[in-house]
Structure 1
Amino acid sequence: MQSHSVQARRQLRQSILNERAKLSLEQQSIASFNLIPQALALINQYHTEHIALYLPFNSEISPLPLIERLQQQNKSLYLPILHPFAKGHLFFQQYDAETLFITHKFGMQQPKPDVRKVKPLNEIEMIFTPLLACDKSGNRLGYGGGFYDRTLALTPQAISVGLAYPFQFVENLPTEPWDIPLNHLIIGDIK
């Protein structure tokens, strides 16, 4: 029998995915640009140079406009890759103009692994994470694979920042013992 928390999380995931699917491309784009000022303010507040981001999947709020702005500022940027030898883990690789991409087993784009560009986790200063929902305590609900919870557990030095649409913010999320709360949440308004 499943716990109430597991059922509640599953239902919330589906509800958020349904809401996200209703967003127009214009709303998605507006939200992605609207998060830039808050993200830059956080990056400046923490004097961050080594920043991990993600590539958007389906209708996730996109950090691509932010990535473009950070490239103009000559920040060192890193993207996640599914670890080939440690199941359920991520590692980060430097992103630059020469980065080639492949599709991984879950259908998402990631950089083609290049050992010369791998960044040690303990050198990442800030991690922007995708999410399905987040609450006022920083609790994050992802897709259920635990990839970012494991990554955040291994990078306590990194400032963790969730990126979300307004409807992804909920009052209280059901949590599990392995959940790692985010330090910050940035909401990209869709108007």
Structure 2
Amino acid sequence: MISKLQLRKEIKNSKRQFTSQQLRELSFAVITRLLTHPRVKSAKTIMLYHSLPDEVDTHTIVDSLLMSGKTILLPRVTGEGTMELHRYNGPKDMQVGAYGIMEPTGELYTDYANIDLAVVPGVAFDHDGNRMGRGKGYYDRFLPLIPSTYKIGVCFPFQMITSIPAEEHDIRMDEIITSQ
């Protein structure tokens, strides 16, 4: 089986074959599917992420879901491998945080049992719901705190692979949404 390090390298090389415009177009298809998903429509509180340039672009969806009356939570890095959730109140509520990622400055959110849905990024996913992140373990440490929350991984089609080396402690996604 291929190592996680090799998989990350292969996915990174695949991303380089697309222009930023092509990635935006692929993102649009993923976000459109996500917005029409019954779990998104029924959720009151949604954990999302503020995307990096090489991830499915979530910048517009956070605002549209907020405008529709949903409580939006975004992660904020608090230390090596640790993050916490903060309420997102709008674009003015963001500041540059760890790794150059925009992070929310809204109030800390700790009522994890009331998170209806988590939309999770990843470097790669497989059809069994296994997820491989960037290797720092932020989501690996956080996801066990929300065991009953429905988890949707979002990715580009080339990020769906046959099999990811999963370990016992890895948290599987309930569903993966891609542009196809």
TM > 0.5 fold call? yes
Unaligned ranges ≥5, structure 2: none
The one-letter amino acid paired with 1:74 is G
2:34 is equivalent to residue 39 of structure 1: yes
Q: Give the superposed CA RMSD.
A: 2.0
Matched, 1:8 2:15: no
1:119 aligns with 2:109: yes
User: In the superposition, relative to structure 1, how do residues 79 and 50 fare at CA in structure 2: closer, same or farther (>3 Å)?
Assistant: same
1:1-191 aligned within 5 A = 8-44=3-39, 47-84=42-79, 87-97=80-90, 98-104=92-98, 106-112=99-105, 114=106, 117-120=107-110, 121-189=112-180
**Partner-residue secondary structure (3-state), 1:70:** helix
Q: Secondary structure at the match of 1:179?
A: coil
Q: Percent of aligned pairs with the same residue?
A: 26
Spell out, residue by residue over 1:106-160, the C-alpha distance to the aligned partner (whole angstroms, 9 max, x if none). 3322224x5xx11112322211111010001000000111111221111012111
> What is the deviation of 1:26?
1.6
Alpha-carbon distance in structure 2 between the residues aligned to 1:125 and 1:89: 21
Once residues 39 and 173 of structure 2 are traced to their aligned partners in structure 1, the CA distance between those partners, rounded to angstroms, is 18
TM-score by length of 1: 0.84
* One-letter amino acid matched to 1:92: L
Unaligned runs of 5+ in 1: none
TM normalised by structure 2 equals 0.89
What secondary structure sits across from 2:42 in the alignment? coil
